[in-house]
Structure 1
């Protein structure tokens, strides 16, 4: 009788071990699936000034990053090194991943209107930030956060146009850019942001002509 009890006890122990191994296998499969389905890359926005510590939620985009994105895309779109009739169109296609569909349509119409009016042929163009009117100086005026996915970036810009080596136009204006969160294609757009064109009409501004001339001469 004692021998039979030992056999039953060993059999019960073997069954419990098998159950335990089965549960461990299920847990390992679940962990493997979680590891496999986890994102391989995670974009974390860090403020450009790292002299002081910063603690942020991973999904939070600092205003400085939004401003830098807006300025970068705007400058790239308005950079016509040789001929605005070809450079402007090329920029629209080249920056496609950084533009919303509605903004791309707007820019395409703007290109066609300017081309038909003769404002692009053989024109060279460049834009740059007006000294002393950047985000470091007046952040509350230049970045307006409307939600966690929507910002207005006010760029104070000087736009210079040249024709045949001579400057034919200089405009100083504030451009209200609308920037939205759009992390849909990290491969083509690592910023996770898109330019949704303008949040209002550009407004002419007045600044010291000496400051503008000095900055323009350095570029």
Structure 2
């Protein structure tokens, strides 16, 4: 009889331990399920794309990139490309200038676009657009330098462009303006529409008035 009771007690203890293990396993399963749920939610809300700007020249020592960091070369290339394009009139400034402002408006802040439209109207009233071709290119010997770009904080850069501006009459190819200029532009982060503006940048205006270095014509 004593053996039967002892056997029964061992069985009950083993059963209780088994139940305790089962409860522990259920707790572990629930915790794992909750953790996986948080992981799935975090994954669903994470960025599907990470944009990293890579400069055109990578040093031999290697390169450390940070998400969201924009190299100076990228800022300079953006400012150069957009400003040169806005100032390219292939046939007639009266139609081309306004068309270029509209075409490149995704790369201009609304306030700076308005100033360019005002500049267009001023030149139109002064008779300096009709039949005019305008070309803008970098000055000879003024290649990019890191000193041409300065980060001033809050997603803003100051860019110095040394450009040669040439204007001629389309009807007779007579050069009416040929000057060397320094344009000090303000470039800002502008993540508005990635489809129209994949750079995520915009020219916000002049940080200083354009300065004439030399008059050729």
Task: Tell me the TM-score range normalised by the shorter chain.
Answer: 0.7 to 0.9
Listed as ranges, the gaps of 5+ residues in structure 1 are 210-219
Q: Which residue of 2 aligns with 1:175?
A: 183
Q: Does 1:161 align with 2:167?
A: yes
Q: Name the larger-Rg structure.
A: 2
Match of 2:75 among 66, 79, 91: 66
Query: 3-state DSSP class of the match of 2:214?
Result: coil
Cα displacement (A) at 1:132: 0.8
Cα displacement (A) at 1:51: 4.4
Cα displacement (A) at 1:122: 2.4
Does the 8 Å contact 2:179/2:214 carry over to 1? no
- How many aligned residue pairs are there? 205
Match of 1:152 among 151, 154, 158: 158
Match of 1:128 among 117, 121, 137: 137
Cα displacement (A) at 1:145: 2.5
In structure 1, distance between residues paired with 2:166 and 2:209? 19
Q: Does 1:118 align with 2:124?
A: no
Cα displacement (A) at 1:205: 1.0
Match of 2:118 among 97, 101, 109: 109
Does the 8 Å contact 1:126/1:159 carry over to 2? yes
Listed as ranges, the gaps of 5+ residues in structure 2 are 1-8
Q: Does 1:201 align with 2:199?
A: no
In structure 2, distance between residues paired with 1:78 and 1:18? 70
In structure 2, distance between residues paired with 1:206 and 1:131? 13
Deviates more, 1:182-191 or 1:92-101: 182-191
In structure 1, distance between residues paired with 2:172 and 2:136? 16
The two structures have a TM-score, normalised by structure 1, of 0.85
Q: Which residue of 2 aligns with 1:80?
A: 89
